[in-house]
Chain A
């Protein structure tokens, strides 16, 4: 419930709309309650007395009330819809903003598919709570209070009957709601795992087809589908118990009233007309309770969603910015002091072990090492994608944690190993590097990155649509576009994480030659091919998370057996 209340705090300007909507429901309910009494007057007084003007007057009043009810109803529809969807959009935005501030360790606490559900279906559930719940939530108490009031004023002895039964019904309905609430949470978890299977399947569809695993995937889906089926039936079959229980109580109430009331009529304590009137009020009271219980079920379901949304909003970013952080990186030197790092706190082994190294301003650096030796991890610390477990990373002479994230990442550019382009045109993607870049700048960067050559062959050039994840270009072309995007940022430190692996050697050599012209920029290349780093000012060799050697090509050839081994294997094998 606390989660829900906190989310209501996000209503903002729509709080007013909700209040107006509630008032409109109250007014509408009043009109509805007034109309039957007017009708009674029309019949009992007008018709009985053959008073035609009175009849017409009452008829006119009724019609007016009906029209007023229509007007308030229509106004309510507008305000309620506006507040529900406005609220939903605000929650969604709050979540998305939060997500943008997260570190990757935060991201790892949620799965992608579950994050997407939290931003879409969970919010739909919250909106439905308002769309379908607000009206009965306001009407039911009004009906309840008026019903109790009228029935007591009619006959307080009879009223005792349902005063006893009402709490019984209340307890039953409440315990159903309580039993069902945790099931809704489980239901949502099952939905998440089903979505996870679909998502994996979509991502790996080529693998699925290549291995003819359609049937296997169907079985896998069938398993999660089946468990969703059983959880959903369990939840719904319990939730819908409230209708028969309600009916049972209501009917019991009616029967008791008929019997007790009937006896009272027989003994002359009650009039027949009072009994019928009383019964109709009892119905009204019990109906309003049913309405409330339905609203509570709806709310229970939305509570599970509210909780899931709240978890996202609560998650604290693991990368905190210091107050008064520096917003300018003065120079392009990089230094690591006894850096140790592991991704998960309780991992048995460190990914990086006690690494210290110094990179001078403007140097070209190569980093070599085997699979899993920690190369990618190492450079990601320089951009503060992760924080060190112990030790310090310095860029431009200051600890990376002393800068604002924005300043640090403006200064340290990186072409990631997992290259990603986004849906949109080439131009849209390149402008990630520099928002206001003109065509000349774009082409210049593309030419440096070796992308100009193929872009010019595209009929639409920079306006070529890349499709989702850049499916319309080959792997090598994608890498070159990613390099161009990073160049447009004009960073002080530029890191290439194995980012030319799919580019052919001739193009790669050309790109490297172009990059060499960038003076004053510290360039760090992670590479598999020794030819990529041979000319570097300094080469670092990583082995299983440790710094296993450093120096120039010549120094390492003379001093590092590991380096010689790599060199020999590549030159003998030859790398295209």
Chain B
């Protein structure tokens, strides 16, 4: 299974950071004020601490009680400013960091909606979920904790460095060298552990997908006593994740002790070198003591800095995955022609020229394959005149579903073309094309919400009355009314509280409420018992009146009333005609039809 995390661009750190910064750029003002407030708070902290020495000096030089009170008062004011800035920046940051994450999630989801079906065919839903559950999370954590910390510690490092150089430039050369060592190490180990983090995220995604699949397939698992084998599969992925996680974390957590130790070594060398300088008379003992205090202070922000870069690292790996998805090519839509409502009905608008929508669909020598080298449709030509009912018949896998997938451009033809009212479907804007087609898919997907909301999915502005009428046409009305809360009964995504027949009735009602000129029915009636189906059929006849209908059905009565029947075999139309003609031909259709009586 190909994954989005490709090895193609392993070290696109710069790009990822730029992208992330562009999200932060939308909150320029907030982030700028955070930076200023952070710096103010650091300055106040330093200044307050610095005040201690003049106050004490005053005591030593005999300034007395008034001087002490004054000094303490000044310190208090500085501290109050410091606390207020800390309060403000942490609050602002709490809000803007969540807004940034909100934006990222929004872009991620919205872009996902535009991706072609191929993407969803090729990615496990658990893998895709992992973008939301894991990757966005790490970014959110990093922003919450790391942004202000990085500004704060960066500023502290610069401040301390300046102080060091001013106090003793010779010794500062040693300190500078040690800083360089620390950063070099951090950079190196950051690069290494980023690789591990990425592997860890990948293992997590895989485990996610596995759990999802097995939870969804619990019934099959139980029926086949497959719990143990399942556990083995889980174990394998779980162990994999454990190994990757341990490696990544073990690598990342060496950073702090390494930096701390380098700073202690520096401390040692500076003490010794400073000691010799005192002996040589290059500096005083007092100056060396205060210099050493600063060297010791310098270690803390570097420590923090490295710690925060840990968080940033894992978030960058997540961000990289997210941006890879956001950068994926959307479903192409070069269509310009739009759908319009006119007084007389719907019409195509071809740059000003209105062509009435009639529902005339033609296939001209259409070839198609999902993967290269495996042709699914070969040179298929057919036409449906407005109001005609075209039925597809053939064994499973013959390409019936594919034909309908091409009409609504879930996929595009490889060669040949499909004309809709004389217009190549590729010239029609996809959304408008699909809006003109009603679909009842093979699998019914319901959304968590009321029955009413689920039917209204077909046309959002439908009134309650229209929803109920549509349900009535699909003969779903009677079962819905028997439910405890009627139309307001909540159904869940997997529709566990409805039978598959009932789900299909809802799907038909959904198409009915959409009221489109062209209908595509894909094996919609196969799971409904005959008595219910009889009722549906009558409603469907009403619904199909005046519409062009493509139907893939197992029921002969539906097929028999069709204007044209296409018998598909291995991606080719092997027979076509109406029921009588095909029966006379005594070919494939005849065999299918009579197959039923053989059984009895």
Query: Within 8 Å of chain B (Cβ to Cβ): is A10?
Result: no
Q: Which of B13-21, B55-63, B168-176, B355-363 contacts A (4 or more CB under 8 A)?
A: B55-63
Q: Are A534 and B600 in contact (CB under 8 A)?
A: yes
Query: Within 8 Å of chain B (Cβ to Cβ): is A564?
Result: no
Nearest Cβ distance between residue A501 and chain B, in whole angstroms? 5
Q: What does the 1/0 interface line of A27-71 toward B look like (CB < 8 Å)?
A: 010001001100100110011101010011001001101110110
Q: Taking A73-B256, A210-B441 as contacts, is the C-beta distance between A576 and B596 under 8 angstroms? A: yes
Q: Which of A100, A255, A376 contacts B231 (CB 8 A)?
A: A100
Q: Which of A191, A373, A474, A566 contacts B397 (CB 8 A)?
A: A474
Q: Are B285 and A47 in contact (CB under 8 A)?
A: yes
Nearest Cβ distance between residue A50 and chain B, in whole angstroms? 6
Q: Taking A196-B493, A371-B529 as contacts, is the C-beta distance between A104 and B207 under 8 angstroms? A: no
Q: Which of A72, A416, A528 contacts B530 (CB 8 A)?
A: A528
Q: Are B59 and A265 in contact (CB under 8 A)?
A: yes
Q: What does the 1/0 interface line of A74-102 toward B look like (CB < 8 Å)?
A: 10111011101110110011001101111
Q: Are B460 and A70 in contact (CB under 8 A)?
A: no
- How many contacts between A and B, using CB within 8 angstroms? 492
Q: Are A73 and B254 in contact (CB under 8 A)?
A: yes
Q: Taking A236-B98, A569-B530 as contacts, is the C-beta distance between A199 and B493 under 8 angstroms? A: yes
Q: Are B211 and A116 in contact (CB under 8 A)?
A: yes
Q: What does the 1/0 interface line of B17-55 toward A look like (CB < 8 Å)?
A: 000000000000000000000000000010010001001
Q: Are A251 and B72 in contact (CB under 8 A)?
A: no
Q: Taking A69-B261, A262-B55, A574-B560 as contacts, is the C-beta distance between A420 and B216 under 8 angstroms? A: yes
Contacts of B393 in A (CB 8 A): 576
Q: Are A116 and B557 in contact (CB under 8 A)?
A: no
Nearest Cβ distance between residue A202 and chain B, in whole angstroms? 4
Contacts of A93 in B (CB 8 A): 231, 234-235, 238
Q: What does the 1/0 interface line of B395-433 toward A look like (CB < 8 Å)?
A: 111000100000010100000000000000000000100
Q: Are A28 and B109 in contact (CB under 8 A)?
A: no
Q: What does the 1/0 interface line of B242-278 toward A look like (CB < 8 Å)?
A: 1001110110011011101100110111011001101
Expressed in whole angstroms, the Cα–Cα distance for A36 and B98 within the complex equals 42
- Closest A residue, CB atoms, query B249: A81
Contacts of B106 in A (CB 8 A): 218, 221-222, 225
Q: Are B83 and A92 in contact (CB under 8 A)?
A: no
Nearest Cβ distance between residue A20 and chain B, in whole angstroms? 14
Query: Within 8 Å of chain B (Cβ to Cβ): is A13?
Result: no
Query: Within 8 Å of chain A (Cβ to Cβ): is B598?
Result: yes
Q: Are B211 and A120 in contact (CB under 8 A)?
A: yes
Query: Within 8 Å of chain B (Cβ to Cβ): is A149?
Result: no
- Closest A residue, CB atoms, query B596: A505
Which residues of B, 446-461, contact A by the 8 Å Cβ criterion? 446-448, 457-458, 460
Query: Within 8 Å of chain A (Cβ to Cβ): is B229?
Result: yes
Query: Within 8 Å of chain A (Cβ to Cβ): is B500?
Result: yes
Contacts of B369 in A (CB 8 A): none
Contacts of A63 in B (CB 8 A): 265, 268
Q: Taking A48-B285, A435-B229, A506-B592 as contacts, is the C-beta distance between A115 and B215 under 8 angstroms? A: yes
Q: Are B55 and A258 in contact (CB under 8 A)?
A: yes
Nearest Cβ distance between residue B518 and chain A, in whole angstroms? 12
Q: Are B530 and A88 in contact (CB under 8 A)?
A: no
Query: Within 8 Å of chain B (Cβ to Cβ): is A141?
Result: no
Query: Within 8 Å of chain A (Cβ to Cβ): is B177?
Result: no
Q: Taking A370-B529, A574-B560 as contacts, is the C-beta distance between A43 and B258 under 8 angstroms? A: no
Which residues of A, 360-379, contact B by the 8 Å Cβ criterion? 368-373, 376
Contacts of A201 in B (CB 8 A): 109, 112-113
Query: Within 8 Å of chain A (Cβ to Cβ): is B345?
Result: no
Contacts of B45 in A (CB 8 A): 247
Q: Are B250 and A203 in contact (CB under 8 A)?
A: no
Query: Within 8 Å of chain A (Cβ to Cβ): is B349?
Result: no
Contacts of B292 in A (CB 8 A): 39, 43
**Number of interface residues, chain A, beta carbon within 8 A:** 175
Q: Are B593 and A576 in contact (CB under 8 A)?
A: yes
Q: Are A120 and B204 in contact (CB under 8 A)?
A: yes
Query: Within 8 Å of chain A (Cβ to Cβ): is B3?
Result: no
Contacts of A565 in B (CB 8 A): 531
Contacts of B83 in A (CB 8 A): 244, 247-248, 251
Q: Are B91 and A77 in contact (CB under 8 A)?
A: no
Nearest Cβ distance between residue B168 and chain A, in whole angstroms? 14
Q: Taking A229-B98, A467-B1 as contacts, is the C-beta distance between A505 and B599 under 8 angstroms? A: yes
Query: Within 8 Å of chain A (Cβ to Cβ): is B595?
Result: yes
Nearest Cβ distance between residue B201 and chain A, in whole angstroms? 11
Which residues of B, 192-232, contact A by the 8 Å Cβ criterion? 204, 207-209, 211-227, 229-231
Q: Are A77 and B253 in contact (CB under 8 A)?
A: yes
Query: Within 8 Å of chain A (Cβ to Cβ): is B153?
Result: no
Q: Are A225 and B213 in contact (CB under 8 A)?
A: no
Contacts of A52 in B (CB 8 A): 279
Q: Are A372 and B499 in contact (CB under 8 A)?
A: yes
Contacts of A302 in B (CB 8 A): none
Contacts of B121 in A (CB 8 A): 467, 471
Query: Within 8 Å of chain B (Cβ to Cβ): is A390?
Result: no
Query: Within 8 Å of chain A (Cβ to Cβ): is B289?
Result: yes
Q: Are B271 and A42 in contact (CB under 8 A)?
A: yes
Contacts of A203 in B (CB 8 A): 125, 445, 493
Q: Are A569 and B261 in contact (CB under 8 A)?
A: no
Query: Within 8 Å of chain B (Cβ to Cβ): is A383?
Result: yes
Contacts of A213 in B (CB 8 A): 457
Q: Are A573 and B238 in contact (CB under 8 A)?
A: no
Query: Within 8 Å of chain B (Cβ to Cβ): is A112?
Result: yes
Q: Taking A376-B499, A502-B523 as contacts, is the C-beta distance between A251 and B553 under 8 angstroms? A: no
Q: Which of A35, A86, A258 contacts B267 (CB 8 A)?
A: A35
Q: Are B530 and A116 in contact (CB under 8 A)?
A: no
Q: Are A73 and B559 in contact (CB under 8 A)?
A: no
Q: Are B95 and A237 in contact (CB under 8 A)?
A: yes
Query: Within 8 Å of chain A (Cβ to Cβ): is B463?
Result: no
Q: Are B241 and A202 in contact (CB under 8 A)?
A: no
Q: Which of A152-160, A166-174, A271-279, A321-329 contacts B (4 or more CB under 8 A)?
A: A271-279
Contacts of B443 in A (CB 8 A): 206
Q: Are A477 and B599 in contact (CB under 8 A)?
A: no
Q: Are A209 and B258 in contact (CB under 8 A)?
A: no
Query: Within 8 Å of chain B (Cβ to Cβ): is A124?
Result: yes
Query: Within 8 Å of chain B (Cβ to Cβ): is A16?
Result: no
Query: Within 8 Å of chain B (Cβ to Cβ): is A240?
Result: yes
Contacts of B246 in A (CB 8 A): 81-82, 84-86
Query: Within 8 Å of chain B (Cβ to Cβ): is A449?
Result: no
Query: Within 8 Å of chain A (Cβ to Cβ): is B117?
Result: yes
- Closest A residue, CB atoms, query B279: A50
Q: Which of B79, B238, B254, B397 contacts A74 (CB 8 A)?
A: B254
Contacts of B97 in A (CB 8 A): 236
Expressed in whole angstroms, the Cα–Cα distance for A376 and B445 within the complex equals 20
Contacts of B110 in A (CB 8 A): 218, 221
Q: Are A266 and B59 in contact (CB under 8 A)?
A: yes
Nearest Cβ distance between residue B386 and chain A, in whole angstroms? 21
Nearest Cβ distance between residue B270 and chain A, in whole angstroms? 9
Query: Within 8 Å of chain A (Cβ to Cβ): is B326?
Result: no
Q: Which of A416, A418, A506 contacts B591 (CB 8 A)?
A: A506
Q: Are B250 and A385 in contact (CB under 8 A)?
A: no
Q: Taking A422-B217, A576-B555 as contacts, is the C-beta distance between A100 and B230 under 8 angstroms? A: yes
Q: Are B125 and A97 in contact (CB under 8 A)?
A: no
Which 7 pairs, one residue from A and one from B, show the smallest C-beta to C-beta distance?
A73-B257, A476-B396, A371-B501, A574-B556, A204-B445, A70-B261, A66-B264
29 pairs, CB–CB < 8 Å, chain A vs chain B: A47-B285, A62-B271, A73-B257, A73-B260, A81-B250, A85-B242, A85-B249, A89-B238, A89-B241, A199-B129, A199-B493, A204-B445, A206-B410, A221-B109, A240-B90, A244-B84, A262-B59, A383-B222, A385-B219, A385-B222, A405-B222, A405-B225, A409-B225, A418-B219, A475-B396, A498-B527, A501-B554, A505-B599, A509-B595
Q: A39-B292, A62-B271 are in contact. List 15 more A-B contacts (CB 8 A).
A: A43-B288, A66-B267, A70-B260, A73-B261, A112-B494, A115-B215, A199-B125, A232-B140, A241-B87, A244-B84, A247-B83, A259-B69, A266-B65, A454-B397, A528-B529
